[in-house]
């Protein structure tokens, strides 16, 4: 469940001192699907989302208060619009992971790496390379197999929601590159406004829900609080600042490559810690998704 920092191009400096923190971000993002599944039910999705981002939003606002004040009215509106899309992404992802396995969630969401270049090609009216189309076909076949588990059946509701989340992530990436008002905005205030808009959406929707964020927090035990802190502090706050730090020390392509291992860690966490089993079809599908997205990422470059 990734964050949304926008990298800046700098001269690459590939050292393990930079690579390891970025790789750790990919690991915690991969584990975030299992953590979200562990502390969330269909009734508490909105409440957990409010709590998760409300914990880190004040920190981002305090650290970046000067840059927030420097945003123009147009930049505030553009960032808020992106925040509405971001709210949709997190709603689809969190409801999706409740209704499917953490392994499936992490692997299906990786299709964003295939959908985004395809969408860019459609918008710019350029034809993707044959290699990329082959990678896309391989990834789609992998998802079809992945969602079957031990035998052929209809994909679960969660699988379909994660597929929609991957499409929503693609929309978010395209919007960030095409909303003119935010192109020159600094990543920190841009992210803060987006998360603030998303929290506003979650809070508004939770007002009519069966359970409130405060009631959900009161019912949390040590395990649930640990999961919430992991999602808030490590998967959001830590991940965002590592990205900002890393893109100033290495190349954006290097960061993207390392973060692209997220689905591998999602599968590892689901199987090793969550006790999930893919079955023969699912295992083959997972491998095809990983190979297809890696191939597609290289072909897109």
Whether residue 100 contacts residue 158, with contact meaning beta carbons closer than 8 Å, is answered with: yes
Determine the distance from the C-alpha atom of residue 261 to the mean position of all C-alpha atoms in its chain, rounded to a whole number: 12
For the chain, 301 residues long, give each residue's pLDDT as a single digit of tens.
665 554 444 444 456 777 888 889 989 999 999 999 999 999 999 999 999 999 999 999 999 999 999 999 999 999 999 999 999 999 999 999 999 988 888 888 888 888 888 888 888 888 888 888 888 888 888 887 777 654 445 678 999 999 999 999 999 988 888 888 887 788 899 989 999 999 999 999 998 777 889 999 999 999 999 999 999 999 999 998 888 787 667 766 667 767 778 888 888 888 888 888 877 787 888 888 888 877 877 776 6
What pLDDT does 251 receive? 65
Question: Integer distance in angstroms from the first to the last C-alpha of the chain?
Answer: 23
Which CA distances in Å does 3 have to 32, 195, 233? 12, 10, 12
Cα dihedral 104, 108, 113, 119, rounded to 10, equals -170
d(CA 129, CA 158): 31
- Tell me the three state secondary structure of residue 251: coil
What pLDDT does 140 receive? 82
What pLDDT does 205 receive? 92
Which CA distances in Å does 294 have to 34, 95, 110? 23, 27, 10
Which of 147, 146, 119, 145 is CA-nearest to residue 132? 119
Total number of residues shown for the chain: 301
Whether residue 171 contacts residue 59, with contact meaning beta carbons closer than 8 Å, is answered with: no
d(CA 189, CA 193): 6
* pTM for this entry: 0.85
- Tell me the three state secondary structure of residue 211: coil
What pLDDT does 143 receive? 80
- The angle that helices 222-229 and 16-39 make with each other, rounded to 10 degrees, is 140
| Residue written as token pair 């957990």 | 48
Q: How many CA atoms lie within 13 A of 19 on its CB side?
A: 11
């Amino acid at each position: 469940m990734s964050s949304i920092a926008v990298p800046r191009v700098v001269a690459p400096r590939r050292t393990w001192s930079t690579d390891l923190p970025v790789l750790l971000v990919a690991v915690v993002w991969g584990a975030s699907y299992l953590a979200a599944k562990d502390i969330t039910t269909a009734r508490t999705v909105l409440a957990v989302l409010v709590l998760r981002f409300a914990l880190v939003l004040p920190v981002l606002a305090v650290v970046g208060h000067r840059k927030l004040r420097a945003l123009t009215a147009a930049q505030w509106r553009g960032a808020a619009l992106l925040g509405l899309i971001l709210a949709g992404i997190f709603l689809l992802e969190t409801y999706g992971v409740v209704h499917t396995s953490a392994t499936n969630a992490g692997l299906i969401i990786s299709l964003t790496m295939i959908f985004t270049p395809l969408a860019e090609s459609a918008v710019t009216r350029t034809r993707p390379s044959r290699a990329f189309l082959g990678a896309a076909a391989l990834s789609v076949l992998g998802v079809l197999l992945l969602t079957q588990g031990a035998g052929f059946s209809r994909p679960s509701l969660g699988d379909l929601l994660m597929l929609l989340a991957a499409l929503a992530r693609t929309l978010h990436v395209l919007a960030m590159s095409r909303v003119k008002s935010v192109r020159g905005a600094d990543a920190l205030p841009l992210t803060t406004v987006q998360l603030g808009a998303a929290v506003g959406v979650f809070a508004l929707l939770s007002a009519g829900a069966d359970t409130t964020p405060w009631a959900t927090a009161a019912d949390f035990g040590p395990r649930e609080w640990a999961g919430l802190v992991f999602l808030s502090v490590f998967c959001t706050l830590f991940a965002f600042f590592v990205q900002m730090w890393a893109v100033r020390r290495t190349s954006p392509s290097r960061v993207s490559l390392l973060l692209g291992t997220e689905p591998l860690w999602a599968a590892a966490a689901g199987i090793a810690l969550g006790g999930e089993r893919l079955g023969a079809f699912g295992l083959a599908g997972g491998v095809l998704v990983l190979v297809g997205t890696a191939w597609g990422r290289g072909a897109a470059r």
